[in-house]
């Protein structure tokens, strides 16, 4: 049995190494084609959930989403390359490098804001408000509705004002997360806002640790039934 497992692990390692080597050997054109395939498949999953029956409109919306993924990627790739160059040129002077990168990030944020607004304008031209919300949620792994629902289930005595504030911050987080370059960074943005929400609720008099513990008890009790 142990020998079989070792052989399986060795086989998987060989496959992974072969895939990495193949990726490294790919030409720029091949890498671009591979990336286009990835973002097209990702975008198709999003658009297929919108209930669009007109094939021409479907293709048009698909292209809008694909293009936005490409724009976001290009902006972040250029930023990361420039940041790397700044660090190399600054050498040991980290203070100077950080100052230049801060200026760079400000300019990048302006680019992201502009592309974000253009993207939403295109979506709103082709989709109804409910569909636009769906696109936003799917581009951010449905973190907003999942998190909002979790807060309502965790803290049963939230007021309407508190619920509205939580929703406002989660919507704001989603707008930023749409433009993030990776899944990890999208989740990190929501994590930052969840920290803000927890601080807000604590200031409102809630013991969030206790609320969480009571929520877990309710979940277990429901599972027991």
SS3 assignment for the chain: CHHHHHHHHHHHHHHHHHHHHHHHHCCHHHHHHHHHHHHHHHHHHHHHHHCCCCHHHHHHHHHHHHHHHHHHHHHHHHHHHHHHHHHHHHCCCHHHHHHHHHHHHHHHHHHHHHHHHHHHHHHHHHCCHHHHHHHHHHHCCCHHHHHHHHHHHHCCCCCHHHHHHHHHHHHHHHHHHCCCCCHHHHHHHHHHHHHHHHHHHHHCCCCHHHHHHHHHHHHHHHHHC
| Single residue among 76, 100, 127 that ends a domain in this structure | 127
- 197 and 169 Cβ atoms separated by less than 8 Å: yes
Note down pLDDT in tens along the chain; length 225 residues.
445 545 445 555 555 555 555 556 678 889 889 999 999 999 999 999 999 999 999 999 999 999 999 999 999 999 999 999 999 998 999 999 999 999 999 999 999 999 999 999 999 999 999 999 999 999 999 999 999 999 999 999 999 999 999 999 999 999 999 999 999 999 999 999 999 999 999 999 999 999 999 999 999 999 987
* Domains in the chain, number: 2
Do 42 and 118 lie in a common domain? Answer: yes
Do 91 and 54 lie in a common domain? Answer: yes
| Residue at 135 is within a domain | no
Do 113 and 164 lie in a common domain? Answer: no
Q: What is the pLDDT of residue 45?
A: 98
Give CA–CA dist 102/38, Å, rounded: 31
Do 112 and 12 lie in a common domain? Answer: yes
| Residue at 200 is within a domain | yes
Do 111 and 34 lie in a common domain? Answer: yes
Q: What is the pTM of this model?
A: 0.85
| Single residue among 74, 102, 127 that ends a domain in this structure | 127
Do 118 and 26 lie in a common domain? Answer: yes
Quote the domain boundaries for residue 99: 2-127
Give CA–CA dist 64/122, Å, rounded: 7
Do 157 and 122 lie in a common domain? Answer: no
Do 113 and 63 lie in a common domain? Answer: yes
Q: What is the pLDDT of residue 5?
A: 47
């Amino acid at each position: 049995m142990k020998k079989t497992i070792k052989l399986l692990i060795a086989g998987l390692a060989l496959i992974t190494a072969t895939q990495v080597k193949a990726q490294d050997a790919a030409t720029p054109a091949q890498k671009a084609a591979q990336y286009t395939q990835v973002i097209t498949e990702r975008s198709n999953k999003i658009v297929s959930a919108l209930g669009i029956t007109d094939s021409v409109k479907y293709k048009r919306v698909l292209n809008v989403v694909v293009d936005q993924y490409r724009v976001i990627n290009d902006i972040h790739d250029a930023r990361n390359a420039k940041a790397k160059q700044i660090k190399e040129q600054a050498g040991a002077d980290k203070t100077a490098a950080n100052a230049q990168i801060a200026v760079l990030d400000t300019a990048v944020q302006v680019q992201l804001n502009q592309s974000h607004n253009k993207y939403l304008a295109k979506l709103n031209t082709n989709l109804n408000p409910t569909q636009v919300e769906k696109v936003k949620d799917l581009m951010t792994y449905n973190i907003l509705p999942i998190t909002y629902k979790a807060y309502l289930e965790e803290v049963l005595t939230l007021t309407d004002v508190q619920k509205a504030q939580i929703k406002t911050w989660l919507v704001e987080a989603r707008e930023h997360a749409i433009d993030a370059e990776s899944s990890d960074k999208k989740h990190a943005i929501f994590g930052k806002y969840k920290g803000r929400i927890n601080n807000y609720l604590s200031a409102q008099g809630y013991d969030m640790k206790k609320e969480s513990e009571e929520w877990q008890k309710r979940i277990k009790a429901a599972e027991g039934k």
